[in-house]
Amino acid sequence: MTTVGRKDKIDLPELGFFDIDAKVDTGAYGCALHCHHVEIIEQGGQSVLSFKVLDPSHPEYDDKPLLVRNFSDKVVKSSTGQAEHRYAITTEVVIFDTKRTVEFSLTDRQEMKYPVLLGRKFLAKHFLVDVRKVNLSYKLKTSNL
């Protein structure tokens, strides 16, 4: 198993985001991605999920909404213990030069320090967490440049 620290930088290539800060959270079950303006729109007779990732103050922010045809609708227990409705998407994550397909629930994490949360479902059977470490994957990636 690979050791990951308490935070790292990941790539979401299918969404066009690279070196995005992610918090590793063994207390969370699933993964979450900070989004806003989340809505279902009609496009070509199909329902499409439209959303914007990150905040305007983030250096990687692009005001253009992302459009996803394959999404789900689920109830997720938030960090405060409240059940809330969220949409979820599946996309590719790159960490430690490895690509994995991951489900992210879309939520407003504006008040949180990290736009991405990586939970136990992502970590299990692949990573050991050492809370003393940070950015191990990112350091490996940038040392290979």
**In CATH, what number is assigned to the domain containing residue 35?**
2.40.70.10
Alpha-carbon distances, residue 136 vs 10, 36, 129 (angstroms): 11, 29, 11
Report pTM.
Answer: 0.89
Q: Domain range for residue 7? A: 2-143
Please name every residue paired with 86 in a beta bridge, in sequence order, or none if there are none: 74
Query: What domain count does the chain have?
Result: 1
pLDDT in tens, 42-91: 998 999 999 999 777 777 777 889 999 999 998 887 767 888 899 999 99
Q: Lowest-confidence range among 24-38, 54-68, 79-93, 113-127?
A: 54-68
